[in-house]
Structure 1
Amino acid sequence: MAVVANAMDDRQCRNHTCLVLTGEQGKFKTTFLDLLCPPALSDYQYTGKIYPQEKDVLSLIGQNLIINIDDQLKALNKRDENELKNLITCPQVKYRMPYEKHIVERPHLASFVASVNGNDFLTDPTGSRRFLPFEVLAIDIDRAKTIPMDAVYGEAKALLKDGFRYWFNDEEIAELHRNSEAFQVYTAEMELLLRHFTFPTEAEKATKRFYMTNSEIVGYLSVYTRQQLSPKRMGEALRKVGYARECRRVNGNPVYVYAVRKIFPDQPP
């Protein structure tokens, strides 16, 4: 329904989610996603790699119904990943056709889908709501080819006309975040935090010896890896695991700390 709503609205983007199929190679993921476009609109479908930093992607968004990103999400760098999230939700796109003299603003027509070999591809827990991942165990591709997509889109249009809600509410967004955890790529900060720290007991917290700042945690864990750890990613890892940030006074100045206990306090790095 979001695909139909997006294609019928010239003012803004109505589909803020990219459907992603994950799983083993050879499971017909890309083929199934291609089948989501009705045969009559096959000229308005793009399947392949996209380059979020280049201007050509803007014309793809303005001229296609569905953009099928084929096994590329894992290979995106951080900048391209952030730009892709912006492209998924931007209300309009501006570009110049080869035969035109001026840049023209056009509606955001396309909805995004994607396939990934393997399951772990989400690197940013704060931006996972843009991706709706499902692990594919098997697809009956011959049966999928018999589904009359014209009728599917016709029903979606009828439901849209009747006011059917096609967007996620707050409760569903929270559930989406929980379900997306299985597709997260653990950062070095997260892996080291889980390996070397745990929650202190209430009695241990009362001694006030089990509190460390973000910088102290990063410094302690840095001796266990050659990678340069990021305080920002460490903060994200601490919040994701469930460590609460507390404000304490040190020499009259506010200092933010976390209640953590070292699993191997006497183990040399």
Structure 2
Amino acid sequence: MTKRTTTTAGQPAPKSTKACLHIDLTKEEASRTNSEQSTSSKGILEMIKFLTERYRFRFNTVMKYTEYATMSSSSTYQPLDPRTQKRMTLEVQVAGIEVSIKDVRNFLESDCIYDYNPISEFLAKCDGSWDGHDYIADLAQTVPNNNPHWTSWFRTWFLAMVNSWLPNKKHTYGNSVVPLLISGQGYNKSTFCRRLLPDELEWGYSDNLTLSDKRQVYQAMSQQLLVNLDEFNQVSPKVQQGFLKNMLQLPTVKMKRPYGSHIETFPRLASFIATSNLEDILADPSGNRRFIAVRLTHPIRVNRMPNHRQLYAQALALLKCGERTWFDGYQTKLIMKNNQQFEVQMPVDHYFHNYFVPAKNEEEGKWLTVAEIFSQLRQEVGSIIKPNNLIGFGRKLGYIHGLKHKRSATGTKYLVKRV
């Protein structure tokens, strides 16, 4: 079977379907005489020759379906849907070749069709061509904001996104961090997100994911490259604290294909980005480390299209040099501190800061449990603070900067001072 050289992105370049089949046919003809060939096998061989002389076929290993194109040089590949497959069957039968639609389907769904990975194909064109300029920083700086760490954080996230596309890599975690762009309407947030992918990979962008449909989510994670959680403020606190937190760290997804008979494991390809028109949107303090939230000061500059070839060539070069694709403990603390300004604020949160501050030592303050602090606040402001806020309030206390805590027989205590 004729093969081309392996590409630098790690995926074997596709072999010619026609050449592959030509060799198989030659072997078949050499091993049998015409008189020995059954009518059925002869019809199948004629059908394969008929179709491959008129069409080019390839199996998209990302989308998990066969694609076809005519032999015209201007023809582009399209998914081979059931209607097209039936039309091809009629063409074969009208040509006098005695085969059934099942015979045609068996060929088009077999591994006689060569595997094609559109991601590896694109990355192979980029690999080794970086000119040394920092295109990732240029792209990050088109997003005006006051966060001094944004460019560095965006770079790490972008490298993690590209790293998750590389084949033959065993990932323990998926790209679990999500840039979150916050501003009013008309700041070009969606345009920026869409332009992160080049034209060759634009099929891998999605902005209409329904998080309540888990099957759709898992399919998108295995087949899409970038998912924009548009209008993130509409994601409920319950989803943020549960399904979304778990989903973001998955390295693989398990699901059953349509009409499949068993559950399969697929590598996760998708990274996530999000946009919002509201600022108080992060409902899970412990999960806030998974977001890089920035407030835009001006509209994103989209007057120039990114140089995608150099952008991804730089990413591949940095990954080869071993640049980190995750955030260390220090950076995670900075991210969490930054994200506190975007947390959903309950009345109890506001009142805590009105009546308490973190104490520096025991002479200055007093050790109190969550329930004791909560009780004192209720005495001050009354029933506006609901008892069902207690659990969420306790969780948030653990993330207040400078607030010391310790374990005790009655629960966690915090060193606070009354204002």
On whether the aligned pair clears a TM of 0.5, the verdict is: yes
1:60: which partner in 2?
220
Shift of 1:182: 2.4
TM-score by length of 1: 0.82
1:23 positional shift = 0.9
Q: 1:44 is matched with which residue?
A: 204
Partners of 2:329 and 2:360 in 1: how far apart?
33
Once the two structures are TM-superposed, the CA of residue 200 in structure 1 deviates from its matched residue by 6.5
Q: Give, in whole Å, the separation in 2 of the partners of 1:70 and 1:199.
A: 37
Q: 1:195 aligns with which of 354, 359, 379?
A: 354
Larger Rg: 2
Distance 1:159 1:199 in 2: 42
Amino acid of the structure 2 residue aligned with 1:235: G
2-structure distance, mates of 1:51, 1:254: 39
Which of 305, 318, 328 matches 1:159?
318
Q: Note if 1:170 corresponds to 2:170.
A: no
Relative to the length of structure 2, the TM-score reads 0.55
Q: Structure 1: any 5+ residue segments left out of the alignment? A: 264-269
The structural deviation recorded for 1:19 is 1.4
Residue number in structure 1 paired with 2:264: 104
Corresponding position of 1:6: 164
Counterparts in 2 of 1:184-223, with a 5 A limit?
184-198=343-357, 205=364, 211-222=367-378, 223=382
SS of equivalent residue, structure 1 residue 11: coil
Is residue 354 of structure 2 the alignment partner of residue 227 of structure 1?
Answer: no
Matched residue type, 2:299: A
Kept in 2, the 8 Å contact 1:53–1:83? The answer is no
Q: Does the Cα contact within 8 Å between 2:204 and 2:223 map onto a contact in 1? A: yes
- The structure richer in strand per residue is 1
Report whether the alignment pairs 1:238 with 2:397: yes
Query: Is it true that 1:116 corresponds to 2:272 in the alignment?
Result: no
Contact preservation (8 Å) 1:47, 1:68: yes
SS where residue 67 of structure 1 aligns?
Answer: strand
Query: Residues 235 and 3 from structure 1, CA distance in 2 versus in 1: closer, same or farther, beyond 3 angstroms?
Result: same
SS in 1 for 2:229: strand
CA shift for structure 1 position 254: 6.0
Structure-2 change in CA distance of 1:102 and 1:211 (3 Å): closer
1:94/1:106 contact within 8 Å kept: yes
Deviation at 1:73, TM superposition (A): 4.0
CA distance in 2, matches of 1:255, 1:47: 43
Could you tell me how far 1:63 is from its partner in structure 2?
Answer: 0.3
Paired position in structure 2 for 1:34: 194
In the alignment, which residue of structure 2 is the partner of 1:141? 302
CA deviations on 1:124-178 (whole Å, 9 max, x unpaired) are 22211111112222212222xx212132112211221221223212222222122
Q: Given that residues 93 and 105 in structure 1 are in contact (C-alpha distance below 8 angstroms), is that contact kept between their aligned partners in structure 2?
A: yes
Which of residues 116, 125, 136 is equivalent to 2:285? 125
Kindly provide the amino acid, as one letter, of the partner of residue 369 in structure 2.
T
Residue aligned with 1:26, SS: coil
Distance 1:52 1:58 in 2: 11
Tell me: higher relative CO, structure 1 or 2? Use CA pairs within 8 A at least 6 residues apart. Answer: 1
Range 220-229 or range 49-58, more displaced: 220-229
Following the alignment from structure 1 to structure 2, what is the Cα–Cα distance between the partners of residues 155 and 261?
51
Rounded Cα–Cα distance in structure 2 between residues aligned with 1:241 and 1:94: 39
Aligned-partner Cα distance in 2 for 1:17–1:201: 33
Q: 1:52–1:83: 8 Å Cα contact kept in structure 2?
A: no
1:211 Cα shift? 5.0
Change (3 A) 1:194 1:102: same
Query: How far apart, in 2, do the equivalents of 1:44 and 1:54 lie?
Result: 18
Give the equivalent residue in structure 2 for 1:93. Answer: 253
- In the TM superposition, residue 104 of structure 1 has moved relative to its aligned partner by 1.4
Separation in structure 1 between the aligned mates of residue 331 and residue 352 of structure 2, nearest angstrom: 29
Give CA deviations for 1:9-55 in whole Å, capped at 9, x if unaligned: 55324422111111111111011101101110111111124315522
Q: Determine helix, strand or coil for the equivalent of 2:164.
A: helix
- Residues 218 and 230 in structure 1, CA contact (< 8 A), matched pair in contact too: no
CA distance in 2, matches of 1:189, 1:14: 35
- Which runs of 5 or more structure 2 residues have no equivalent in the other structure? 1-158
Structure 2 residue matching 1:134: 3-state secondary structure: strand
Alignment partners' CA distance in 1, 2:362 and 2:160 = 52
Deviation digits for residues 102-139 of structure 1 (CA, Å, limit 9, x no counterpart): 22110011111111113222122221111111222221
Q: Which residue of 2 aligns with 1:22?
A: 182
Q: Distance in 2 between matches of 1:185 and 1:40?
A: 39
For residue 376 of structure 2, give the secondary structure of its aligned residue in structure 1.
Answer: helix
Report the 3-state secondary structure (helix = DSSP H, G, I; strand = E; otherwise coil) of the residue aligned with 1:50.
Answer: coil
The 3 A distance-change label for structure 1 pair 138 and 113 is same
Tell whether the 8 Å contact from 1:53 to 1:80 is kept in structure 2 after alignment: no
Retained in 2: the 8 A contact 1:22–1:117? yes
